[in-house]
Amino acid sequence: MQPLAITVGDPAGVGPEITAKALRDMSAAERAEIVVVGNIKTMERAMALAGGGLAFAPGLGPHPDGAVAAIDIPVAGAVPDGQISPAGGEAAFRAVEQAVTLAAEKRISVIVTAPLNKAALHAAGHEYDGHTGLLAALTHSPAGYMLLASEKLSAIHVSTHVSLAEATRRPTQARVLGAIAAGDRHLRRLGLARPRIAVAGLNPHAGEGGIFGREEIDSIAPAIAEARAQGFAVTGPLPGDTVFHRALKGEFDLVVAQYHDQGHIPVKLIAFDTTVNVTLGLPIERTSVDHGTAFDIAWKGVADHTNMKAAIAYARRMAAEPAR
């Protein structure tokens, strides 16, 4: 198996610390299957903070002395701890860019991303909505889909980092059908023979037959009908205020959420520490922590790396079941 690549995110945030702590907790064999993409000096500082006692060496590895393989990303300029800076945004961007190149060249399997800061990314001149949009651009893909995956509840999103006004325009028939297909393909890959997918409506009560909006009638329901014709086990559109409860009780394996907060709020409420952000629909594969840079606690030694360990474990699972 090709190694996993961990991009350490914005060096001013908690990304380096949670990466160092995750590496500290791994066995030597597990670390040999990892390459860190980020500034080596920053990671040495983070490892000292984590008390892991591990060294980093340039290159893909594995290194015979047990050092962690690392692709060094220069940091050009000051990056104050816990603050937005163009240099921090640029370093985060370059790490993702390098990891995408390695993935495209089949030198790594899955990318695991620590958090970057969107304001810092924009300050560096890279105006993306976050990792999903950045990865789509770097891979020259029209779009990707964000899946929040947990053992208890999972949701794939028709739209994510756009305004609520723009989100109401995103549930086209093609986009909803694409989310259904991407979610079904991913769950089949992980062992579900026939994933049960529920599609949430956009409007209250899924539009109530057009009383509260026609998006369900004009685009969402036709996408569901087409998905059923293609053989997918799909139900909906269902009211957003009940569909997640039904999924949590075991009726569905996946919910298609129409916009960011519709999917994020219930999943994070149920499984905040263990939810993994997975990007689907791109030629490369990526998992991520489902939290931000947490500048308020950065470089204080208190960041919880539970979510990073979950993202790495999910990436290993994906690498063991290659996409077909």
Question: pLDDT per residue over 16-25, tens digit each?
Answer: 999 999 999 9
Q: Are 285 and 109 in contact (CB under 8 A)?
A: yes
Q: How confident is residue 65, by pLDDT bands cut at 50, 70 and 90?
A: confident
Q: How confident is residue 61, by pLDDT bands cut at 50, 70 and 90?
A: confident
pLDDT value for 301: 97
Supply the range of the domain harboring residue 46: 1-141+282-324
More confident residue, 1 or 156: 156
Q: Are residues 198 and 65 in the same domain?
A: no
Token pair 């899924």 is at which residue? 206
Q: Are residues 263 and 227 in the same domain?
A: yes
Residue 324: pLDDT over 80: no
Q: Are residues 4 and 137 in the same domain?
A: yes
Q: Are residues 180 and 91 in the same domain?
A: no
Residue 186: both structure tokens together: 């991913």
- Over residues 17-41, the mean pLDDT reads 97
Token pair 């047990």 is at which residue? 66
Question: pLDDT per residue over 81-100, tens digit each?
Answer: 999 999 999 999 999 999 99
Pick from 281, 296, 313: which residue ends a domain? 281
Query: Whole-angstrom Cα distance, residue 232 to residue 183?
Result: 10
Query: Whole-angstrom Cα distance, residue 287 to residue 276?
Result: 7
Q: Are residues 323 and 252 in the same domain?
A: no
H helix and E strand count, the chain = 13, 12
SS3 97: helix
Question: pLDDT per residue over 206-220, tens digit each?
Answer: 999 999 999 999 999
Q: How confident is residue 273, by pLDDT bands cut at 50, 70 and 90?
A: confident
Q: Are 36 and 11 in contact (CB under 8 A)?
A: no
Give how many domains the chain has, as a whole number: 2
Query: Whole-angstrom Cα distance, residue 12 to residue 235?
Result: 44
Q: How confident is residue 12, by pLDDT bands cut at 50, 70 and 90?
A: very high
Q: Are residues 123 and 248 in the same domain?
A: no
Token pair 């591990």 is at which residue? 54
Q: What is the CATH number of the domain that holds 120?
A: 3.40.718.10
Q: Are residues 186 and 321 in the same domain?
A: no
Q: Are residues 193 and 124 in the same domain?
A: no
SS3 35: strand
